Structure 1
Amino acid sequence: MIKKLVVTAVSAGAAAALVIAGPSYAATTPTLAGPGVRVGYGSVELSGTAGPGATVELYETAIVFDDLEPADDWANGGGPVTATADSSGHWRLQRILDSGFYFQVVANGVRSNKLTVRIQQDPALTLSSSSANTVDARVEASPGQPTLTAQLQVNLSGSTWTTIANGETGDGGVFTATARNVPGGTHAFRAYVGADPSNGVLAGYSAGRNLTVLGAPATRLPAPSGGVEFTKVQYRAKSLNGEWVVVTNRSDATVDLRGWTIRDAAGHVYTFSSTFRLNRAGSAYVHTGKGTNSVAHRYWGRTGYIWNDGGDTAVLRNSRGATVDACKWGAGSGAATC
């Protein structure tokens, strides 16, 4: 069949204009909307618009990877994740988040805007007091990510929260701690879990929980986890003994560190000897190399460097294996203040 050309005449003195009839539509650019933050592990609803009846395919990536690819429908055996726009062009779908994510959708070969959804920590806190002036705490991070800063806090005044135990989440995002010398009576407690910006994870607090602590009231609170903590790490050095980590006793009493350990992210472990005690307000340097131990200087005895210049985590654990403190750093000047 021969198609007719539609010719329109114009006013005298002008050339004739030749118009060929073409398609009357163009692909609709899809849109994508959703929450900017999800609190705790779970699902988010994504929605938007596209051409009526269009198939909308989801693309996603964890923020840490930043590499958008077609989402996998793992909950239903695999394959693309899609939605169909209704007659008015609206669509919606659900997606599970265990970290921060970037999202985008594609419809008829056209991409939508890029959406960022971060995830905020929503830790769960379990408490008990089985002996006088002692609180045992278990914090479960949500999302359950390891190596995040964790704290147990108490509110005695009705307005000020004070940290009485700190450390780092371990496998499964769990942090356990025992706080001693806590005043007897009923107090409010909460847990804090820190952020991981590279994964789009925001810091968050648990809901407050009341606990009746056994024992007599006290006039002052203990320092966190007995008061022993990291204060500085020299991770870039020209010699093994020029690389060190400092632990400081900020409590009001001497602390017996026998059986306590320091470890790095790779699992190298230093154990304090059975005779080592750290005096009140005292500090001890733990050098990587070999030497003669003294009160202020301890020696790991390694023949290679421990702390990574590009980033590492120092973890201090007590003789029961509970995390007491942690110091995390990235690439920097060569020293980290904890």
Structure 2
Amino acid sequence: MHRLRKVIIGLSGAAGLLGATLPAPAVAAQVPTFNRIPVADGFDDQNPITLSGTAQAGDTVTLYEEAYIYGVGHSKAELAQHPANDYSKAETSPGVWPALTVKADSTGHWSIKRPLDSGHVMMVGTDDGYSNRRFAAVRVQPDLSVTATGDNAVSFTVTVNPGEPTLPVTVQRYTSGGWTRVASGTIGADPIQYTGSATGQPGGTPTYRAWVSDSAHPDWADPENFVIANYSANVKVSVPGTAGSAPAPTAANPVPNPTWTDPDTASTPSTPPPAPSTPAAGSVRFTKIQYNAPGRDTRTNTSIAGEYFRLTNKTSKTVTLTGWTVRDRAGNTYKFSTYGLGAGKSVTVRTGKGKNSTYTRYWGRTYHVWNNTGDSATLRTGGNKTIDSCTWSSAGKGHTSC
């Protein structure tokens, strides 16, 4: 009996004999991670914050984001419907940009520079899955100017970054007993600033500061938009009139630093901001329509974007405008994508093209929409329920307050 000679064939030889190519060794899936996001000090597109985390080396990492006011309760699946816009690239259609993506480097790390104009909910995704979700907060940056207007009298102007109407403002003066309130109010919408005045101020060089904070949640300027409170720099001013006590403060202003827990961790935040209120339909109104853009109609984007309508939430709760429409008499229609309008807040929608922000949106049109000599605007919900309307029948002053 003859034995068959045992032949051992190497893997490469076997593959050649079989006419097949062996697959590369499988790489274990590596779900991306997202590091805690640093607080942004105001909106500054020249000095954005850095988002970072890990992913499989070479993987494409996509950023997903929603403004905090309407993304705070969303699941990963819902957040995945909102890839971040890459504004450094050309629009793919009016008002639409490509998704913001980066490649994880050879060490398995990724980073993205991103300016913030309000609080956000964020995560990243790759083919291997989605990361943990993160909250991104913005610390408001108030700027105070003080002017002596006469004997023992001053006036104040406070601006804020990000420029958000209705933020609460208190102007304080330093005394021997500490800081004391001398004026208060809210940031206006047009222009976006607070102005006030005070009499009975001490002659000399008193020191003032502005404090932007929600009285019910002192660490927050606007808890619904995840905007942290803050002080302005101290401002000294020479005030004529009867001299009084005007000591200089001896300690720096504190920096509010509230804590919170991101949605995919287990512990409870020590000072959580409240979640946005349940939307209330039927309480959003047109408060201004600039139907005739200022100046000559040149059909440039500047002229077209000079047309706008402004909606104001008249309730004490956030109203979700997702799917709501504004339509003119000819049927031109603007439709809100995912969007929530905070209590007492206003949003301006400009006809032309531009970069959307929390309180200014762009229709993306290349021509004027509103008829100067007579037209109507109708606001409807996604279910086609009429919420408000505004009509004008003559050129008038080029705008109406409805």
TM interval, short-chain normalised: 0.5 to 0.7
**Which letter does structure 2 place at the counterpart of 1:70?**
P
Residue 138 of structure 2 corresponds to: 119
Contact 1:142 1:173 in 2 (8 A): no
**Which letter does structure 2 place at the counterpart of 1:150?**
V
Residue 33 of structure 2 corresponds to: 31
- Rounded Cα–Cα distance in structure 1 between residues aligned with 2:41 and 2:316: 33
- How many aligned residue pairs are there? 213
Describe the SS at the equivalent of 1:65: helix
| TM-score, scaled to structure 1 | 0.57
2:51 matches 1:46: yes
Q: What does 1:82-101 align with in structure 2 at a 5 Å threshold?
A: 82-101=101-120
Q: Deviations over 1:35-63 (max 9, x none)?
A: 34222223211011111111111000110
Higher strand share: 1
Equivalent position to 1:140, from 159, 173, 183? 159
Residue 204 of structure 1 corresponds to: 230
CA apart distance, 1:219: 7.1
- Rounded Cα–Cα distance in structure 2 between residues aligned with 1:309 and 1:81: 35
Q: What does 1:320-331 align with in structure 2 at a 5 Å threshold?
A: none
Q: What does 1:205-244 align with in structure 2 at a 5 Å threshold?
A: 205-218=231-244
- Rounded Cα–Cα distance in structure 2 between residues aligned with 1:49 and 1:310: 38
- Rounded Cα–Cα distance in structure 2 between residues aligned with 1:215 and 1:100: 45
Contact 1:103 1:116 in 2 (8 A): yes
Q: Deviations over 1:187-222 (max 9, x none)?
A: 2110111221111112111111111112112479xx
- Rounded Cα–Cα distance in structure 2 between residues aligned with 1:133 and 1:52: 66
Contact 2:30 2:128 in 1 (8 A): no
Q: Which runs of 5+ in 2 are unaligned?
A: 1-8, 10-22, 91-96, 214-220, 247-283, 288-313, 319-342, 345-402
Cα 1:155–1:97 change in 2 (3 A) is: same
Cα 1:267–1:219 change in 2 (3 A) is: farther
- Rounded Cα–Cα distance in structure 1 between residues aligned with 2:179 and 2:286: 33
Q: Deviations over 1:94-117 (max 9, x none)?
A: 111111011100112410111111
- Rounded Cα–Cα distance in structure 2 between residues aligned with 1:165 and 1:63: 30
> Structure 1 runs of 4+ off > 4 angstroms?
265-268, 307-313
2:58 matches 1:58: no
Cα 1:309–1:93 change in 2 (3 A) is: closer
Give the RMSD, CA atoms, in angstroms: 3.0
Contact 1:190 1:206 in 2 (8 A): yes
Contact 1:34 1:44 in 2 (8 A): no
CA apart distance, 1:32: 1.1
- Rounded Cα–Cα distance in structure 2 between residues aligned with 1:37 and 1:25: 35
Equivalent position to 2:129, from 110, 120, 123? 110
Equivalent position to 1:160, from 178, 200, 209? 178
- Rounded Cα–Cα distance in structure 2 between residues aligned with 1:22 and 1:131: 82
| TM-score, scaled to structure 2 | 0.49
Describe the SS at the equivalent of 1:92: strand
Larger Rg: 1
Q: What does 1:290-305 align with in structure 2 at a 5 Å threshold?
A: none
